[in-house]
Amino acid sequence: MLELRHFEYFVAVAEERNFTRAAARLHVVQSGVSAVIKAMERELGARLLDRTSKRVELTDAGEALLPRARAALDAAREARDAVDEVRGGLRGTVRIGTLTSVGLIDVPALLGAFHRVHPHVGLRLHVSPRGSDGLLDWLVDGTLDLAVVSAPGRPPPGIRVRPVGSRRLELVLPEGHRLAGAAEVRVADLAGESFVDFPAGYGNRTVTDKAFADAGVQRHVAIEVTDIASGASFVREGLGVAILPPFVVPDDRTGLVIKNVTGADLEWPLGLAVSALRRPSAAARALLALIDEKVG
């Protein structure tokens, strides 16, 4: 007979895509995780995972089971939440998606304030190599409880995004660039430039791509980086120009020139995303309330 522990182990392996990481997350030995998964497969009469030396993939049966396993764990969590609220203390874990550089929200300060009030709640931070798009996918499939995202346009079905603020992206040029002394820079003036930018899925990349598409100007991205805070350093070294949120440009702007791009919609939004289909846990609701208080 399947128990909640089976579902917990299965979800951990499915999310981590690795038995070693799943065991570390569960604080058990790897052989214990393997034994539980094998027992599940025997009980269900189907292979749930395809194992290779480097990675674990879900089979069709595993894909079908995963949302139901998460639903079972969510139901158990809600039962525990109800008891904990009566007892006057929050427990559990909140899974939070965040960007590599946020700027408009002081994430460490928020989580520190939350931890001081709710010391028994675990906080797990996740960063996706696919930027905001990856975080939104994790919200949809239940991997995350909430996420700080930059999601221009309409969010995916089943996701609700509350705007937190925005910043206008600015053009960052190396000193001595042909446009460094220009009184005005428009998108058309940047045709033929090599850009330092971020992979598709990052909010600032989406905003910039749309601005160039709206102007009918093709853009060449020469270098893609995943750490937004390093973008200006690549520009300083002459590897391209970039369009960045101003807070990631170092205070020491030696070797850099910052310009506004006129006539273009370069507003970079930041928001707090949650599932519109699942009720957050009591701990997640408490964190959301704190964010509303501090940031709203």
**Identity (one letter) of the amino acid at 130?**
R
Locate the DSSP E strands across the chain. 49-51, 56-58, 92-97, 121-126, 146-149, 159-168, 170-174, 185-186, 194-197, 220-224, 242-244, 256-259, 261-262, 267-275
Whether the full predicted model's pTM is greater than 0.75, yes or no, is no
| pLDDT single digits (tens) 64-94 | 998 888 888 888 877 777 776 666 667 788 9
> CB of 171 within 8 A of CB of 207?
no
Distances (CA, A) of 153 to 158, 203, 267, 268: 15, 10, 11, 11
The predicted structure's pLDDT at residue 218? 92
The predicted structure's pLDDT at residue 27? 83
Which residue in 98, 126, 89 sits closest to 283, CA to CA?
A: 89
Low-confidence stretches of the chain (pLDDT beneath 50): none
